[in-house]
Structure 1
Amino acid sequence: MKSIVITGASSGIGRATAEVFLDAGWQVGLIARRADVLDDISTAHANATALPCDVTDPGAMQAAFDGFTAKVGRLDALFNNAGMFGPSAPIDEVEVDAFDQVINVNVRGMFIAARLAFAQMRRQNPQGGRIINNGSLSAHNPRPGSICYTTSKHAITGMTKSLSLDGRAFDIACGQIDIGNARTELVDDLNARILADNPAATLMPMMDVNEAARSVLHMAQMPPEANVQFMTVMATKMPYIGRG
């Protein structure tokens, strides 16, 4: 039975992805801060393991990874998903502390998770595994007022490329999924901000979050000799091509 750790597993894309992997028969380690939600998932699924912790806490993350791999034997995949959007404003209206918070979660937190997964995959026998980073359409084409989030997601693209290169010698593949307008709490919050600024605004098209989750499963199920390096999955009619 294959195993995966999913960060940000208590809601949104992370929770939907956890459910899809559990339905596919994987052992799933669930990382998020909301222990009660993780406990609910693990109670409902025998193959789910709740690993409540903060992705920015290196010691807690080490304990979570060690506990999960001790239980299931090895780590086949990481879905490096936990993240936040941060303030939506021009750069001169963004406090430095707010920028630091986004970078801490979206870059440092993903670095910590990738570092732990890489170390486990490198030393296990047989060696290897797969790291899937959750990027964003903002890693390529930002939306207005997204300086913190966009900067962080451009960093994740660099992380993906670097992990792909460094992982070759150890049979560790790395890919990135860039998801656009899946209906989650984060997108609902963004839409609420848009409507607060302009109640007559037309909201962007959405897709079911499970379409994104199934795409992550597809990436994880690739054979060792194949890799989805970058995947874009989005609502068909959203303004991505040509936006700016």
Structure 2
Amino acid sequence: MANGAKQNTAQKTALITGGSSGIGRATALTLAGAGYQVAVCGRRLEALEETIEMGSDLPGKIIASAADVSDPASVEALFADLKARLPRLDVLFNNAGVSGGSINFGDLDFEDWRKVMDINLDGMFLVANQAYRWMRDQDPQGGRIVNNGSISAHVPRPGSACYTASKHAVTGLTRTISLDGRVHNIACGQIDIGNAASDMTAHFAKGLPQADGSVKPEPTINVMHIANAILQMAELPLDANIQFMNIMARDMPFIGRG
């Protein structure tokens, strides 16, 4: 197959980390609905099995493998399992992450910092690195990696040093993978999401700290908008790339923060 040629979606495969709820689950169901064979991973196998059940009548098949993305041995075992069950890897949605809560920088300790970095940065690297190697070595060569960034990759919220630093680092990782991947027909892009409705954002309606010291509720958007955007990125031929996409609740205080 020539570089950039588009495969039939019925033959395409995808891996989604954090596939047991929220954005990851919605994306798994959307890709399976488009005919992809989808692997979901997360720490809790029972929650992943719920995703499988929800997609049982879709054109594509969903499979699950439990893994801790912050643990190198667990990630290696994940990919060994998937290579035995999937013919190739066409798309990675590198989605798993944690928020870390709101902590003023002066009250932040190293344990708080590491807890977020272990998943949001180390986990992002470990999964992308394994996926990159698989895509590089498979025949036909190539694939697409989509990293989940955040609006915080552009501007921070109060008390978000860990989360914001991790997402700025993800942007650097995305740019480097995108550059290094060219020679191997690997495209890498990033989706920066603002206020998608999920378990992680359930408290947004109660109020979030604002730059002026106030606490105000913020709007959210349905996760299906995010899932459809991931599908759009995945469907591009490999000679095209959405390098960065911002998708957010229209009225959230992003432009005002910037």
Query: Equivalent residue for 2:125?
Result: 111
Q: TM-score, normalised by structure 1?
A: 0.94
Question: Cα deviation per residue 1:181-236 (whole Å; 9 max; x = unaligned)?
Answer: 111111114555739xxxx9541121111101110111111111100000000111
- Separation in 2, partners of 1:193, 1:93: 21
Question: Aligned with 1:176: secondary structure?
Answer: strand
Query: Which of 219, 233, 236 is equivalent to 1:222?
Result: 236
Query: Which of 24, 41, 50 is equivalent to 1:40?
Result: 50
Query: Equivalent residue for 2:17?
Result: 7
Identical aligned residues as a percent: 47
Question: Cα deviation per residue 1:22-78 (whole Å; 9 max; x = unaligned)?
Answer: 111111111100110112222444511111111012222122222223222000010
- Separation in 2, partners of 1:38, 1:62: 19
Query: Which of 14, 26, 36 is equivalent to 1:16?
Result: 26
Q: Which runs of 4+ in 1 moved over 2 A?
A: 40-46, 189-195
Query: Equivalent residue for 1:97?
Result: 111
Query: Equivalent residue for 1:31?
Result: 41
Question: Cα deviation per residue 1:115-172 (whole Å; 9 max; x = unaligned)?
Answer: 0000000000000000000000000011111111000000000000000011010000
Query: Which of 164, 167, 173 is equivalent to 2:178?
Result: 164
Give unpaired runs (5+ residues) of structure 1.
Answer: none
- Separation in 1, partners of 2:18, 2:53: 18
1:193-232 to structure 2, matched below 5 A, reads 194=208, 201-232=215-246
Equivalences, count: 240
Q: TM-score, normalised by structure 2?
A: 0.89
- Separation in 1, partners of 2:44, 2:205: 24
Q: Is the 8 A contact 1:87 1:98 kept in 2?
A: no
- Separation in 1, partners of 2:117, 2:204: 19
- Separation in 1, partners of 2:115, 2:230: 26
Letter in 2 for 1:186: M
Letter in 2 for 1:161: R
Q: Is the 8 A contact 1:49 1:68 kept in 2?
A: no
Letter in 2 for 1:38: L
Matching of residue 130 in structure 1 with residue 144 in structure 2: yes
Which one is further off, 157-166 or 180-189? 180-189
Q: Is the 8 A contact 1:137 1:232 kept in 2?
A: yes
